Chains A and B, each alone.
Chain A
Amino acid sequence: MSKHSTQTLAQLVQPDRVHRTLYTDPAIFALEMERIFERTWIYVGHESQVRNPGDFVATRIGTKPVLLTRHGDGRIHVLHNQCAHRGAQVVADASGNAQEFRCCYHGWSYHTDGRIKNIPLRHGYSQRLDVNDPKLAMVQVPRVQSYRGFVFASLVADGPSLADFLGYIATSLDDMVDRAPDGEIEVAGGSFKHVYHGNWKLYLENLLDVAHPLFVHQSSIEAAKVQDDSVPSDGSGEIAIRQMRQNGASYGFFESQVGIWAYPNGHGYMGDYHDDAKLVAAMNDPVFREYREALEVKKGAAEAKRILEVKRWNTNIYPNVSFMSQFQQFRVVHPIAVDKTVVYTYQFRLKGAPDRIFRHAIAFANVVNGTGSLVLTDDLETYNRIGTGMGSAGAEWIQIGRGLDTDVPDAHHGRRGKNSTSEIYLRNMYDAWLGYMTKGGRGLAAAAE
């Protein structure tokens, strides 16, 4: 029995503040895994990562190791990565292609949809060992659904559909895919994997936080501001330096120009904060002009214009994804322990776009998601300091009330901040958290409406 009842959990989340223990208590973390990560829809990968039969990618649902696989019939499955015999991890590689999965211990083998293929010395078992029992297998995760190539899975058999779970925030995934002239995107170019010593929620919180760049990123802002632009660059440094400078936009700009939107189930997005010609739909950049022409040829001028006028920066799909379309970035949050988190980041190639557009995505990944970036390293330091700070016996309550009295409804069953620095995105994630933790995930959409 957990020491937390639904009543005591509910008391930890108040309209303008949440209790520090939500970030520090291992018992709450265990409940979060059970009631959020092992219940709702969790992003597990993109279809392009398992393009061919036999392709697989290892990931996690909460702390549970799973495999995303493509079976011989073309269907996608998510399998628990555990042998049904004596419990060993079956697949040790992070990704690959396999005809079958074979356990290293006693050689039990499995089809790529998880069914048992062969058991050595099977005659030694009694007839009670039923190889057709779906639980005597690399057990399939009960629900797997895709939205435009993005694969989500749920460890429970019943619950809202993926479409209901996503709601209006699906339009941000549309924005990721629509930008490809050929209407298709693919994961490419490797993955950063960063570790910090703090709670998983901190990452999602920071990715929609418009108020932090001026402080957290001061060192890179100051260094970039005085950089001489006549010094040679092959384009990579140029994109990085422009991004750093943009982080140094005035508070007035961040407060009034960006925008912050929140939707049911904890999802939300922040608007675009770039007026830099190289970083948005940049009509003067020759590579972008070439890309826009490719988009117009395939989609028509009107549709291309509509697509490029969508100006969103980071979108969060609670509880494990944050992504941005303009440079095709995608980050997946893996909670490890109450005070340890790993984030895997990916980028997508827009099919049909000029090659240089993908090079821009790589350069941008290096500066915003890079383990050795001049920007991200200050974010990681901040997460670590929050992790350390919350271990103290100081202020018990974490303040999330900025903008509480001025937020306004949004046309799509959501709400938005009157000012961009409203902490509405925090309150919204905690609305969802409360629903999952105390109401079995029910009533969230209703609560937000």
Chain B
Amino acid sequence: MSAAAKLAPAAIADRGEIEDFLAHEAALLDEARYDEWLGLFTADAWYWVPAQLGQRDPYETISLMYDDRRLLETRVRRLMQGLLHAQTPRSATSRQVTNVAIVEQQPDAALVRSKFVVVEYRRDTQRLFAGTYFHRLVRAEGALKIASKRVDLVNCEAELEGLVVPF
């Protein structure tokens, strides 16, 4: 048993499993395995990229992306379409997820904060995105699942070109 698990016996997962999970999620996105990425989310999950630093909610303020489960499914289906102008040609990405911290523990869920860097290359241009992830993880049928994912980009208030590949 790991030290983290001893300290927090009610945890749904230890740090090692959570870090592996986040690395796996990043790999699925880098490899454009979007349907498998969608499979990591719970049936009523949401995915959120605020448009303002410290944004309180996705209802009173616009968001770069705010998908309830229904829209997330549509987003993923669009990403997997053969004909997608905004991804012709496709992007290549490389992600790093670090500084993983379990900030809140409940018997059935954990709120995990991590730092990320996403490098996106497409059509002669390389873009760099960085920020903080907040994953709310739960365990369902033995596996970790994402109940919600918030992505705080450091440049969320900047003038930006289109954002198509999820963070």
**Interface on A for B, CB 8 Å cutoff?**
188-196, 216, 218-220, 222-224, 226-229, 231-238, 240-241, 244, 342, 347, 358-359, 362, 365-366, 369-374, 376-378, 380-382, 385
Contacts and interface: CB of A to CB of B under 8 A. Distances in A.
Nearest to B42: A232
A223 B65 contact: no
A323 to B, nearest CB: 15
Given A223-B74, A226-B77, A231-B70, A366 B63 contact: yes
B60 interface: yes
10 contacts: A190-B55, A191-B51, A192-B51, A193-B159, A195-B159, A219-B85, A224-B74, A232-B68, A380-B162, A385-B85
Given A196-B161, A372-B65, A189 B60 contact: yes
A232 B70 CA distance: 6
Given A191-B62, A223-B77, A237-B67, 11 more contacts: A196-B161, A219-B83, A219-B84, A236-B68, A237-B74, A240-B71, A241-B74, A370-B62, A372-B49, A377-B162, A381-B162
Contact of B163 (A196, A220, A240, A371): A371
B126 to A, nearest CB: 15
A238 B74 CA distance: 11
Top 7 nearest A-B pairs by Cβ distance?
A: A237-B71, A372-B163, A223-B78, A377-B162, A237-B70, A233-B70, A372-B65
B82 to A, nearest CB: 9
Contacts of A220: 74, 78
B61 interface: yes
A227 B78 CA distance: 11
Interface residues of B, number: 41
Nearest to A94: B157
Interface in B77-126: 77-78, 81, 83-86, 88
A342 B161 CA distance: 9
Contact of A190 (B52, B67, B70): B52
B19 interface: no
B66 interface: yes
A381 B46 CA distance: 26
Nearest to B88: A381
B20 interface: no
Contact of B159 (A342, A372, A373, A380): A342
Nearest to A239: B71
Contacts of A372: 49, 63-65, 162-164
Contact of A366 (B52, B62, B84): B62
Contact of B62 (A216, A342, A347, A385): A347
